[in-house]
Structure 1
Amino acid sequence: METNNYEAAIEAILFTMGESVEIDKIAKALELTKAQVKKIVANMQKELESDSRGIRIIELENAYQLCTKPEMYDYLIKVAKQPRRQVLTDVMMETLSIIAYKQPITKSEIESIRGVKSDFAVNKLVEYELVQEVGRLDTPGRPLLFGTTEEFLRRFGVDSSENLPEINPDVIEEIKEEAEKEVSLKSND
């Protein structure tokens, strides 16, 4: 293997591990001596310092680690402060679907359809601004009613909640059959 390939391999190892990697492990992986690894890394360190690069390799007690240069911290902080990407789990998607097709709907109605508590999913959907409180039901206790938001419409490319795609009748039948099986299994316990 050429020196450039060793450098690329070391860079990939350090990047992938995301923490310090012992020199012995690098040497073993590349079938090199510790002295050879140290020489290659020293060359990489010089290149990274002289280039206009945002990373560097530091040595920590017989190990190397790929790090950000201190002068890049201001940029990293700006990115780190940005909100994380919102992940919609299967439970959240199921809950969102129920709200979208049955709105306005109470949390207890959602839970009745799903068969389990839905507090976390509903709260996350509100936090993600896909669902909002749209009023209160005019019954004792006046439970909150939930509906979808404009952000929901934008995110899912729908211009109105009335224009949601039709639910496939075969899928509805499958869901009903599956629910009936679950209910019969629970009653047999």
Structure 2
Amino acid sequence: MTKLEATLEAILFAVGDAVPVARLAAAADAEPAQVAHALHTLAAHYDQSGSGIQLVRMEDKVQLCTRPAYAAAVRRATESRRPPALSAAALEVLTVVAYRQPVTRAYIEQLRGVDSSGTVASLLDKGLIEACGHLDVPGRPTLFRTTDVFLRTFGISGLSELPNLPELTEGEQLVLKETE
């Protein structure tokens, strides 16, 4: 392991959360290209050695995480319970936010046709979505987007990895246009 790889590993271990690659480069006093190469080497090392940890990429950030195969043992050791599964309503709201972000609660409610304030609050509490500003209209409603926790939870590196939405029928397109 090179000194840069060891430095990046130490930083990621100590921080314990996702760190932007640019911040890692600044902290390690290295060029972003060098850091990218060292991170690739670290990820390959963890994968090839059968390590209990893995390097997870989330858009422009990276984090050291427990490999999913060992999650149950970690939960037992830390005496933490498995988080409850998301309800159908939560999955609907999360889908709207993921594919249409940033969105307001009113937009979510228009698409779903029901009050979504409780579901939005629950997703905020779970850290799957976050406020990311306000819409520049009267009342300045809050805008929401997905978080790094969302990416980690669904095992994707970025929103570009979301599956494509199915094509809408003409009737569905008309209904969607009426709600926008």
Normalized against structure 1, the TM-score is what?
Answer: 0.47
**TM-score of the two chains, using structure 2 as the length reference:** 0.49
Which structure has more relative contact order (CA 8 Å, sep 6+)? It is 2
